[in-house]
């Protein structure tokens, strides 16, 4: 095991952390223009190079966008889950983690998330969920459109759990969870089975039944796992590459 680094954090990282902390304390919301560079230089008592490096760090993480022009400057953003997705897939590739890892994460997390969603989701969430099912039904013959609606179905449930971390985790992995980018295909009979499973999960959620929602989602994930094991066992053991398909 490698020893933990005892190096102090870089000055730019410390400034970046202070910018985030102060922005939240000041009640800034995504879309708000932050203080200009000259104000930050005075406030944080740092050099221009250090401040600009700090801002680049925050921009790379999706925390800010740099608005050009005389009235521009850093604008606070709500980071997109693609930033987390990129980091997760990079770590998976470095550690030679196969696609099977994602399958195991789904089996562990999504049933529990569905249980929470049954207690916490509101009428708007249920309406959005129904909308994904309607699209899946209408586009049963179009695998691409069908899978896009499938992703939104799982996304809505994750964010409806009321746990922002579950929302980010599932949202960040939606691009690879169904396995389509790894080469897994879904013939019409399989898409029909997925649609039926989603209808059953929706019914359990609409009934506000946590135990049934968890059970229905577990059945859905287990059916997916069996399908992948039977038809695409070799793909389950492939390492997911860190490339543009997963980095937003």
Tens digits of residue pLDDT in 192-228: 999 999 999 999 999 999 999 999 999 999 999 999 9
Residue where one domain finishes, among candidates 41, 76, 111:
76
Same domain as 64, residue 24: yes
Question: Does a structural domain hold residue 85?
Answer: yes
- The domain containing residue 121 runs over which residues? 81-236
Do 54 and 85 fall into the same domain?
Answer: no
- Residues 134-187 pLDDT 10s: 999 999 999 999 999 999 999 999 999 999 999 999 988 887 887 887 889 999
Domain for residue 232, yes or no? Answer: yes
Statement to judge: residues 123 and 145 lie in one domain: yes
CATH of the domain at 49: 1.10.10.10
42 CB neighbour count, 10 Å cutoff:
10
- % of the chain residues with pLDDT over 70: 94
Residue 90 lies in a domain: yes
pLDDT-derived band at 244, boundaries 50, 70, 90: very low
Residue 4 has pLDDT above 80, yes or no: no
Secondary structure (DSSP) of the chain: -PPPP-PPPPHHHHHHHHHHHHHHHTT--TT-B---HHHHHHHHT--HHHHHHHHHHHHHTTSEEEE-STT-EEEE----HHHHHHHHHHHHHHTT-BTHHHHHHHHHHHHHHHHHHHHH--HHHHHHHHHHHHHHHHTTT-HHHHHHHHHHHHHHHHHHTS-HHHHHHHHHHHHHHT-GGGT----HHHHHHHHHHHHHHHHHHHTT-HHHHHHHHHHHHHHHHHHHHHH-HHHHTSBPP-STTS--
pLDDT at 1: 44
162 and 40 in one domain?
no
């Amino acid at each position: 095991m490698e020893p933990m680094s005892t190096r102090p954090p870089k000055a730019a990282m410390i400034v970046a952390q202070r910018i985030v902390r102060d922005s939240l304390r000041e009640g800034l919301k995504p879309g708000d223009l932050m203080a200009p560079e000259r104000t930050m230089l005075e406030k944080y008592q740092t050099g221009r190079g250090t401040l600009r490096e700090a801002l680049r760090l925050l921009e790379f993480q999706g925390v800010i966008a740099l608005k050009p022009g005389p009235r521009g400057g850093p604008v606070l953003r709500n980071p997109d889950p693609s930033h987390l997705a990129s980091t997760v897939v990079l770590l998976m590739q470095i550690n030679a983690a196969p696609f099977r890892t994602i399958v195991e994460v789904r089996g562990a997390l999504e049933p529990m998330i569905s249980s929470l969603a049954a207690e916490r989701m509101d009428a708007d969430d249920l309406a959005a969920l129904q909308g994904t099912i309607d699209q899946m039904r209408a586009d049963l013959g179009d695998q691409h459109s069908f899978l896009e609606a499938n992703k939104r179905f799982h996304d809505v449930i994750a964010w409806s759990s009321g746990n922002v971390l579950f929302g980010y985790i599932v949202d960040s992995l939606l691009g690879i969870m169904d396995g389509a980018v790894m080469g897994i295909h879904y013939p019409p009979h399989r898409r029909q089975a997925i649609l039926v499973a989603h209808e059953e999960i929706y019914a359990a959620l609409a009934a506000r039944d946590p135990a049934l929602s968890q059970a229905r989602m577990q059945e859905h994930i287990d059916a997916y796992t069996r399908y992948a094991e039977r038809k695409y066992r070799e793909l389950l053991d492939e390492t997911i590459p860190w490339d543009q398909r997963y980095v937003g």
